[in-house]
Amino acid sequence: MTSSRGRRLTLLAMCIAQGMILLDVTIVNIALPSIQRELHASSGELEWVISAYALSLAALIPLSGSLGDRFGRKRFFAAGMVVFALGSVACALSASALELIAARALQGVGGAIMSALALSILSETYSGKARAGAIGIWATVAGLGFGLGPVVGGVLLGVFGWSSIFWVNVPFALAGIALTVTVVPESRNPDTRPVDVPGVLTSAAGLLALAFGLIELASNSWTSAPVAASVAAGLVLLASFVWWEHRAPVPMIPPAVVKLRSFTTSCGVYLLSYASLTGVYFYLTLLYQDVDGWTARIRATRQPQTRAGRSSGQACTTRRPR
């Protein structure tokens, strides 16, 4: 195998991984009403189906990157893809909402490992202008995965049950594992920064507590014990994280990076846009399917004749019988 071919296959493996990670951010939303009916899930449990994946994904990326740099990026990346595949199978086989939530968290663990190491692997594989092109292709595939989630989910739900949105990951994950094992070069950085364990733990615990309180707010008031205690604990833990990062010998987020206005501004914009987009996805799906009676099924319909005498096809959802 030529080195050029090996680089292209390495890029393909990274694209498969990132496409799956971002696809699973949005594809699950369109199946939420089906999951709610078949697993008898509450609205809070549906929110955890989404949040468990996002929280484990976000909380473990810094730790995964450090471990991969220290012990081998290829090894950890392949392990992350295996964990993601196993999490997808567990999601598809879940018989209750709690099982599905736990499996989604496992998916997030695998996604965090892959997401943290993909760019490092591409940076080691490519150099110069070729590196910029490879990263651009990788980012494009990731964006396509995010945008195609609802469409792919609608197609699958029109033919199969809700578990199909998780089974679809398995063949791609197996292909990605095979490519990673056979063509991705091993690399590491033994001089990488030590893992900021207190920072990882306090940030993860703070996000988890805050998310729990906000989700419980759907069925309780702000003054109720579960909401007030969880939100307060989350804010205290996140404040502790900020305090620790200013005093840690090797902080998880270097102070020089935090002082960059471009970095903090872009992170803030991304946070607001991601939070609003995922929130809209969640509630619009429930509105259209549970309230307005539409299904997720996509089919071609025949439209009335136009003035030119032509008929046009349109992909649309169909109303579920009341």
Per-residue pLDDT, averaged over 148-164, amounts to: 84
Query: With 60 as the cut, is the pLDDT of residue 88 above it?
Result: yes
158: closest CA among 294, 11, 10? 294
Bigger pLDDT: 70 vs 35? 35
Question: pLDDT (tens digit, 9 = 90+) per residue, 237-275?
Answer: 989 988 888 888 877 777 777 778 777 787 788 778 767
Examine the pLDDT at 102 and tell me if it is beyond 90: yes
The pLDDT mean for the chain works out to 80
Q: Is 260 helix (H, G, I), strand (E, B) or coil?
A: coil
Give the up-direction half-sphere exposure of residue 125: CA atoms within 13 A in the CB hemisphere: 29
The predicted-structure confidence for 276-319, as pLDDT tens digits, reads as follows 776 676 666 666 666 666 666 655 444 444 444 443 333 344 44
Exposure string for 291-307, b = 16+ CB within 10 A, e = fewer: eeebbbebeeeeeeeee
Which pLDDT score, from 0 to 100, does residue 33 have? 84
Side chain identity, residue 305: Q
What's the confidence (pLDDT) of residue 133?
A: 87
Q: pLDDT-based confidence at 176, cuts 50/70/90?
A: very high
Which pLDDT value is given to residue 30? 83
Q: What is the reported pTM?
A: 0.77
Q: In percent, how much of the chain has pLDDT > 90?
A: 20
- State the pLDDT at residue 301: 41
Residue 300: strand pairing partners = 315
The per-residue pLDDT for range 189-243, each reduced to its tens digit, is: 777 777 778 888 888 888 888 888 877 776 777 788 888 888 899 899 989 988 8
- Ramachandran area for residue 40 (φ above 0: left; ψ -120 to 50: alpha; else beta): left
Q: Which residues face 299 on adjacent strands?
A: 316
pLDDT score, position 171: 93
Residue 146 has pLDDT above 60, yes or no: yes
Taking the CA of residue 161 as centre, how many other CA atoms within 13 Å lie in the half-sphere pointing to its CB? 10
Mean pLDDT, rounded, for 84-109: 93
Minimal CA–CA distance to 31: which of 142, 170, 159, 141? 159
Q: For 48-62, how does the pLDDT look when each residue is reduced to its tens digit (9 = 90+)?
A: 888 888 888 877 887
Secondary structure (3-state) at 295: coil
What's the CA gap between 219 and 251, in Å, rounded?
38
Over range 1-10, report the average pLDDT.
77
Residues 6+ apart with CB under 8 A from 206: 233, 234, 235, 236, 237, 238, 240, 241
What pLDDT, on the 0 to 100 scale, is given for residue 82?
95
Q: What is the DSSP string of 11-38?
A: HHHHHHHHHHHHHHHHTTGGGHHHHHHH
Please give the structure tokens belonging to residue 242: 């900020």
The residue ranking higher by pLDDT, 288 or 3, is: 3
- Give the pLDDT mean for 164-182: 92
